[in-house]
Amino acid sequence: MRSTEVRAAIIAALQATLVGSRSRGSDVLAIHRHPSPPESVPSRTAMVSLLSAPTKSEHDTCDLFDVTYQVTVYYPAGPDTEDRIAADAEQLYKPLWRLHEELAGMVSSEPGSPSVEESLGMLTLRLDVAVQYRLDAALI
């Protein structure tokens, strides 16, 4: 496994969870792929950023690595935005916590406590996800 695969798995979990069977027709989740936050969002927009570079784990094995990504979901201000953020935070926790159960090579995944911030007329939900994975044997 590579750290890029970890990021892809987090994005897939976001898309599957936040745009799922219980979504309304107006629900949209765009993935923002630029390195800087968007200046404005017409609908929910998520960004997955590398928070800490992959480092060798402190366990006695040469193939175990740790990486942390930050999931940020941007919301346009509106009357139901806070309720939407609370619902999204609840829905995201379990799939991110169980991510390692679905992917070979991923040893553990631990979402941190979510936080909410307001800036530039947007609300943001931030959640760090720490992952431990086994580096592909060909890379060692």
Domain limits of the chain? Answer: 3-139
* Residue-level pLDDT at 86: 93
* Residue-level pLDDT at 22: 46
> Average pLDDT of the chain?
85
Tell me the pLDDT band of 136, cut-offs 50, 70 and 90. Answer: confident
CATH of 3-139, picked from 3.20.10.10, 3.30.360.10, 1.10.3720.10, 3.30.2000.10, is: 3.30.2000.10
The kind and range of the H/E element at 15 are: helix 3-18
Q: Given its phi and psi angles, is residue 105 left (phi above 0), alpha (psi -120 to 50 degrees) or beta?
A: left
CA pair distance 119, 116, nearest whole angstrom: 10
For the chain, what is the radius of gyration of the CA atoms? 16
- Where b means 16+ CB within 10 Å and e means fewer, 32-54 reads beeeebeeebeebbbbbbeeeeb
Write down the pTM of the prediction: 0.85
Tell me the pLDDT band of 65, cut-offs 50, 70 and 90. Answer: very high
Q: What backbone torsions phi and psi does residue 45 show, to the nearest 5 degrees? A: -135, 130
CA pair distance 31, 40, nearest whole angstrom: 14
